[in-house]
Structure 1
């Protein structure tokens, strides 16, 4: 019961046509529909109608993130739990966005809008009867699915408490001050990946990145080649995280929203004991090989 996974991200983009070309041909997502300045995408191994929404706007960033719940009635239950916790909840009507049912919407202490939903059109992945490992005619990087996102805000502890106490998220890793008194960043999961959402201390309401999963280190290197061929701006070229142990590339879409492709990492269970990093080891935790952060990683937010 409860939250199944990170279901979708809605990102604001400056030029919808350039963004559609980039997410279709470089990232390799499937364009499912477009209407009224908005485009809907899915990755090839996803079965829901979309996991990424792009909306044209005058500034980039995160419009909202959404978690999918297993049962429709859980929307009512979570609405009551949030209100008991002291969080204001609004209803989003069915059909507000293409292919979506009703949702509940609330704001994290970090200023980010979050939705919970169950109903969405199921279109499948075409790989359910005697299938090949992957479909033909994939383009670009071609990740199989949306993986996670990282947001920033002042009240990391407050957002962490809400997600863990109301929605039963579990903590995989955290960064704390040297005295251990303050939480500076946290990685939280509901699935079997190292994180579905991460929160870093910083300006409220900002997006650091959203990420797609890949299968292996070789896929990471292939992704770097695709990005290089298309002259995409890199933030960090292929490397390893200390935190999560995953392999990674960070880069920017045409609007300046940071993307990541991510592979590997451990498989946590509900009784996983969180890994703790102290702030003096932040560079090693984020980029294990270089052991230091570049300036863009800390300051390039949308």
Structure 2
């Protein structure tokens, strides 16, 4: 089977107050608001070419509505539909233009309870940097990340979701946490040249730990910290470094309690990368390398 998963393309997050959330993602995070419809708003980061990478949907409770991974070819949808159903998971079709700017998709539920979509077609609106460009646009607001980077989800059966993503969608493992000698507690998986496009941790089914925006440098991470402090955004952890992925990070919460992250650095794995293993006694240093401690809020708050 030709493997066509390219990258994480979009996250749809539930928010409690749409207008307050639009202000936050526009002016604190610094995303571009590209479209609205009743109860929803669509955003892209400044260096992304697709119509959107974040959708926020007003709801009674926060969390992850769905994640979407982009595939290389339209016909890949048929291939993956058959492969996922053969694996034993029911697949539904999402119609063309079900959401603004989006083409047809296939939708299914992971063993850990999250809804995933695979899609190819999405309106391409560009980044304005294709002819003799400057390094970045003028008048960016807030943190201004160039792209959506990854997300971390939780569920009871980490091995099952890991198996599906690796066997059917050709994800590769960069890092893992093993507890009690053989329990797979968490994994970091990639399809692109990043330590992780998605991570999975043992926890309550169907839950989101965070979704993350990529930054280019430690200086950008510190700029993000300044923006968050100026806007009195609640910090969870950081600025600091991960042992896992070696990335530079800050965790914080949007107005609805969804955890966001800004992430920079890490290594560039290839398809033959040998996974890094962390054990229980070193896990705190793996999560936060400098402090070597994990707070109850970081391990216990999901949406």
Q: Which residue of 2 aligns with 1:221?
A: 222
Q: TM-score, normalised by structure 2?
A: 0.99
1:28 and 2:39 aligned: no
Q: Which residue of 2 aligns with 1:109?
A: 111
Q: Which residue of 2 aligns with 1:238?
A: 239
Aligned residues: 301
Q: Which residue of 2 aligns with 1:44?
A: 46
Please point out which of 173, 176, 182 is paired with 1:174.
Answer: 176
Deviation per residue, 1:237-291 (Å, 9 max, x gap): 2000000000000000000000000000000000000000012211100000010
Secondary structure of the equivalent of 1:55?
strand
Structure 2 distance, partners of 1:14, 1:176, is 36
RMSD value over aligned CA atoms? 0.5
Please point out which of 43, 47, 64 is paired with 1:62.
Answer: 64
Q: Which residue of 1 aligns with 2:264?
A: 263
Secondary structure of the equivalent of 2:66?
strand
Structure 1 distance, partners of 2:45, 2:281, is 37
Check whether the contact 1:175–1:186 (CA below 8 A) recurs between aligned residues. yes
Unpaired runs of 5+ residues, structure 2, are: none
Pairing of 1:71-150 with structure 2 (within 5 A): 71-150=73-152
1:185 and 2:217 aligned: no
Secondary structure of the equivalent of 1:152?
strand
Check whether the contact 1:178–1:280 (CA below 8 A) recurs between aligned residues. no
Unpaired runs of 5+ residues, structure 1, are: none
Structure 1 distance, partners of 2:38, 2:282, is 46
Runs of 4+ in 1 over 2 A off after TM superposition: none
Deviation per residue, 1:192-226 (Å, 9 max, x gap): 00000000000000000000000000100010000
Pairing of 1:152-163 with structure 2 (within 5 A): 152-163=154-165
Structure 2 distance, partners of 1:295, 1:220, is 24
Deviation per residue, 1:79-118 (Å, 9 max, x gap): 0000111110000000110000000000100000000000
Report how far residue 178 of structure 1 moved. Answer: 3.6
Deviation per residue, 1:166-208 (Å, 9 max, x gap): 00000000000141x1100000000000000000000000000
Pairing of 1:3-22 with structure 2 (within 5 A): 3-22=5-24
Pairing of 1:263-302 with structure 2 (within 5 A): 263-302=264-303
Secondary structure of the equivalent of 1:76?
helix
Secondary structure of the equivalent of 1:222?
helix
Secondary structure of the equivalent of 2:43?
strand
Check whether the contact 1:152–1:206 (CA below 8 A) recurs between aligned residues. yes
Q: Which residue of 2 aligns with 1:206?
A: 207
Q: TM-score, normalised by structure 1?
A: 0.99
Report how far residue 300 of structure 1 moved. Answer: 1.1
